[in-house]
């Protein structure tokens, strides 16, 4: 089995070999693309720019892997600002001894999902650290996109009366990674929801106004709602009964004492939409694969800015807090 060695990060022939025989062929580039920076012709508009590092453990899990995550996570951060994602950079930190096969699988996944999301990997970097100084593979992606004229979407735009819409089931990603990692005996059957959301967001923008929008990753839906309420200076009320949660996620959470509200997603967004546009936006979302299960879960209400309240199935009102620690580390 061929393994990555320290020499593959050294800037010499071994690194050229890694790039020209493994990285470029899989990502669709060539050795002559080896400039240190890409020069891009962008269409007119403001430019969105973001970054995320991915340290998920294990590297492969039901419904995804670190490569797919690294593409979708950054594509989604761009899409959440109203941008059309266009270009990605890829920074690899590899632990000495990683099988080439593992690296190739991750890069194949990067290429596949970049293609599906309509983005190109145009810049990259490879570092190798000694055995025991990393954990197999870490991937950083940064992304560049263009925000079409007239779009202004951010976490601050939730206004009183807006409907809060989510595009489907919560908690799938965190539960899928955790059950894979812990090697649970029982089969939860839960698969990560990891997906690029830029087709969905374009459908939403075409259908109506979107005030605030954010993907519900680390910290889950609960953290995102708290962030949105705080950043928008608004109060939010959601209905427990309206939250889409799969039986498998519910079962794992009940068994282990987790709250699905705080479990990470990698293909879910929450959007605040003026009530006049609610139905049109919902309909547009449901017409797209990533939005098939879209549903309104609550409203922006009159209340204490920053407060998020959940009306439980029993009719009581539960104050939603920011999670304080980490329920499930390294899910992205």
Query: What residues from 148 to 167 belong to the interface with a second copy (CB under 8 A)?
Result: 154-156
Burial 190-223 (b: 16+ CB within 10 A, else e): bbbbbbbbbbbbbbbbebbbbbbbbbbbbbbbbb
Which residues 177-216 are close enough to bind a second copy by CB under 8 A? Answer: 214-215
**Residue 9 is a binding residue for a second copy (CB under 8 A):** yes
- How many residues form the binding site for a second copy (CB under 8 A)? 83
Going from the C-alpha of 57 to that of each of 106, 208, 304, 329, the distances in angstroms are 13, 38, 39, 9
Helix (H) or strand (E) holding 309: strand 308-311
Stretches 164-172, 178-186, 253-261, 320-328: which one binds a second copy (CB under 8 A)? 320-328
Per CB under 8 A, the list member of 63, 67, 143, 196 interacting with a second copy is: 143
**Residue 89 is a binding residue for a second copy (CB under 8 A):** yes
| Interface characters, 113-142, with a second copy (x: CB under 8 A) | ---------xxxx-xxxx-xxxx--x-x-x
**Residue 51 is a binding residue for a second copy (CB under 8 A):** yes
> Minimum distance between the CB of residue 211 and a second copy, rounded to whole angstroms?
14
Per CB under 8 A, the list member of 66, 72, 90, 229 interacting with a second copy is: 90
Going from the C-alpha of 288 to that of each of 12, 77, 227, 248, 294, the distances in angstroms are 46, 19, 27, 24, 10
Quote the tokens at residue 234: 């608004």
Would you give the distance in Å from CA 112 to the centre of its chain? 16
Which residues 61-80 are close enough to bind a second copy by CB under 8 A? Answer: 77-78, 80
Identify the CA nearest to 45 among candidates 150, 145, 144, 148.
Answer: 148
> Minimum distance between the CB of residue 283 and a second copy, rounded to whole angstroms?
26
Which residues 216-255 are close enough to bind a second copy by CB under 8 A? Answer: 217-220, 223, 227, 231
């Amino acid at each position: 089995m061929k393994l990555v060695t320290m020499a593959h990060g050294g800037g010499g022939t071994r690194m050229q070999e890694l790039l020209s025989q493994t990285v470029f062929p899989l990502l669709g580039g060539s050795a002559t693309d080896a400039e240190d920076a890409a020069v891009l012709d962008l269409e007119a508009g403001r430019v969105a720019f973001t970054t995320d590092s991915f340290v998920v453990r294990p590297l492969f899990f039901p419904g995804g892997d670190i490569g797919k995550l690294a593409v979708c996570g950054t594509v989604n951060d761009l899409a959440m600002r109203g941008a059309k994602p266009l270009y990605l950079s890829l920074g690899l930190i590899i632990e000495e001894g990683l099988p080439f096969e593992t690296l190739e699988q991750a890069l194949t996944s990067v290429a596949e999902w970049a293609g599906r999301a309509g983005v190109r990997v145009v810049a990259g970097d490879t570092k190798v650290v000694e055995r025991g100084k990393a954990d197999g593979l870490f991937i950083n992606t940064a992304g560049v996109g263009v925000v079409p004229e007239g779009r202004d979407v951010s976490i601050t735009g939730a206004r009183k009366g807006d409907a809060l819409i989510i595009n489907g089931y919560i908690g799938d990603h965190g539960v899928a990674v955790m059950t894979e990692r812990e090697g649970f005996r029982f089969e939860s059957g839960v698969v990560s929801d990891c997906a690029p959301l830029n087709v969905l967001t374009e459908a939403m923008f075409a259908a109506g106004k979107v005030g605030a929008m954010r993907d519900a990753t680390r910290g889950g839906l609960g953290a995102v709602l708290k962030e949105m309420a705080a950043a928008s200076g608004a109060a939010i009320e959601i209905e427990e009964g309206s939250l889409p949660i799969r039986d498998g996620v519910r079962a794992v959470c009940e068994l282990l004492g987790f709250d699905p509200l705080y479990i990470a997603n990698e293909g879910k967004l929450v959007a605040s939409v003026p009530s006049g546009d609610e139905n049109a936006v919902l309909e547009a979302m449901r017409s797209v694969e990533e939005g098939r299960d879209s549903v309104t879960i609550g409203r922006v209400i009159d209340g204490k800015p920053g407060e998020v309240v959940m009306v439980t199935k029993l009719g009581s009102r539960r104050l939603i807090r920011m999670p304080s620690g980490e329920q499930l580390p390294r899910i992205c």
